[in-house]
Amino acid sequence: MHPDLDDLLGSAHVVTLPLSTRFRGIDVREAMLLRGPYGWTEFSPFIEYDDAESASWLAAAIDFGWSPPPAALRDSIPANATLPAVGPDEVTGVLDRFPGCRTVKVKVAERGQALADDVARVAAAREYIGAEGRIRVDANGGWGVDEAETALRALAAFDLEYAEQPCASVAELAALRSRIRDLGVPIAADESVRKATDPLAVARAGAADLLVVKAQPLGGIAAALRIVAEAGLPVVVSSALDTSVGLSMGAHLAAAVADLPFDCGLGTAALLAADVTDRPLVPVEGAVPVRRIEVSDELLARYAAPNERRGWWLERLRRCHAVLART
C-alpha cells in the first residue's frame, strides 16, 4: 500500500528538537513525522539536501509506515557512542550519555580544527573507554589522500577499529586503502554508499573493507537489505541524527541483517536534548531495543516547528512526492 500525497500531508507533524551538543554544525534538528497503518515513521533529510536526494528519504518513510518490517533476527542492537568534534575536556560529559556502550565513534576532520584536535579527542575517548573498548573515527570525507594517511598514522596508536569515510571519492578511498595496509586500519564507506548514484560501486572497486548503511538515505529497509546482500561486505547500520522514530527504522533494519559483527550507530537520541516520545530509543546497557515508537502528542505540540518552517517542510514533502511519482 502506498499513500497518496493527501494521506501524507494529513498526518504530517514537523518538529524542531534542540541538541545537547552541537553536531554537524547544527544546534537543532528538524524532522517531519508521519503516521501510516504500521505506525509512526520519519522523513528528515538534512536541510541542505536537494529534492532528488531527499526523495529517497521519503521512500524510506513510506516503506516503514505503510509496509510491515521484515522478520527480526534479534530484539536488541548493540550501539556505539557518538562523540562530536568537542574538546577533550567535554568528552566525559558526552560519553556519559551512552551508558554501557563499548564502542565510541569519534568525529574528526572538523572544518576549522587541526589534526592535533583530533588526536586529543581520540586520546580522551580512549582514556574514557579503556583498553578493551573500541574506537572508530569518522571524517565524513573531509581529508584528501595525503591528509588521511598522515592522520591515520597518527591516530592508529589508539588502536582504531576502523576509519569511516576518510576521503570523499571512491578512487581516493581505494588509493588510501592501498597506502595504509601496513597499519591494519580497515576503511568503512558511508557517504560513498548513501550519497552515491551507485551505492555498490565502492564495493566493486575494492575501496572499502565494510559498509555503513542507513535506512533513510537508502530508500528504506527493503532497499538497504538488497544493497547489503549484493555488496558482500560486512556492514554497520547507522543513522543520521534521527528522532527515536527514525532510529526505530534503523533498529528494524539492523534486526533483519543476517550478520552484524559491529556495534551500530543507533544511539544518537542521546545527543538530543528533547525527543518526540516519552520512551526515547537511547542505549540501555550498551544496546537499543527493536521496537516501534509511540509518539507523544504533548511533545509534538511542545516542539512543533514555527509556521514558516512547517510550511517549508510541507512544500518539500510535496516536491519529493512528485519526484517519487516520476520514478
Residues 6 or more apart whose CB falls under 8 angstroms from that of 171 comprise: 205, 207
195 is catalytic: no
Cell numbers given for 154: 597518527
d(CA 182, CA 179): 8
- Determine which one of 105, 107, 126, 177 is catalytic: 107
105 is catalytic: no
The verdict on whether residue 138 carries a ligand-binding annotation is: yes
Nearest Cα to 82, choosing from 145, 19, 144? Answer: 19
- Determine which one of 105, 214, 310, 321 is catalytic: 214
Residues carrying an active site annotation: 107, 214
- Which residue ranges are tagged as binding site for Mg(2+)? 138, 164, 190
